[in-house]
Amino acid sequence: MTTLLIGEDLRRLFHAFEHTAFRLEVREGYYEKEQLRQFLAGEPVDLEYMRTWLELMPALRAEGKRIERVRVVSQPHSDYSRYGLWLCQYNVAAGEDIRYLPRHRAPELPEHDFWLFDSSRLYIVRFDKTDELLGAEPVDDAATVVQHGYWRDAAWHYAVPYSQYVTKAAERADEHPASA
């Protein structure tokens, strides 16, 4: 089995790319269980876990690097997707370009998350059954890297920028409260 990158080894990936870092997120939930609980309870959400990431984004953007992400979401939104939409404001303000793609418009995409750096270095992001991050698995097979580049391009083409998606979601909620 391939060794998964975790901790500092995983963080180094974000200091080593030259031009673009792309993430596809297809899961209905992730590891931020306490923050999700706080969000759903209407409490202040502790964002300390994101501090390092949010500080890194402007530095990367200043170097001319792009950090892009497509989140595939079900509709109506799960509790986690609603949390993710709220949280996204901080990522976007820090310099990420995040877009949303309704799951029903993404049938050709893989069922796993991945990072693709500079269109050439692929890492499949692995999670356990409780949504805890296990690490990033490097993939060297050229055909697999090219396939993920295709999936990146397709997802990016059909996804809607965060601000547009939020506006449309709010409009849907006004028209059909159960569909947001």
Predicted confidence at residue 170, as pLDDT, reads 67
Confidence of residue 179 (pLDDT cuts 50, 70, 90): very low
Average model confidence (pLDDT) for the chain? 93
DSSP string, 101-166: EEGGG-TTS-SSEEEEETTTEEEEEEE-TTS-EEEEEEE--HHHHHHHHHHHHHHHHH-EEHHHHH
**All structural domains of the chain with their residue ranges:** 7-179
Lowest-confidence pick of 58-72, 80-94, 99-113, 164-178:
164-178
7-179: in CATH 2.70.98: no
* pLDDT band with cut points at 50, 70 and 90 for residue 1: low
Q: What is the pLDDT of residues 99-155, one digit of tens each?
A: 999 999 987 999 999 999 999 999 999 999 998 999 999 999 999 999 999 999 999
- The angle that helices 162-175 and 79-94 make with each other, rounded to 10 degrees, is 150
**Mean local confidence (pLDDT), 70-95:** 96
Residue listed under structure tokens 């876990």: 49
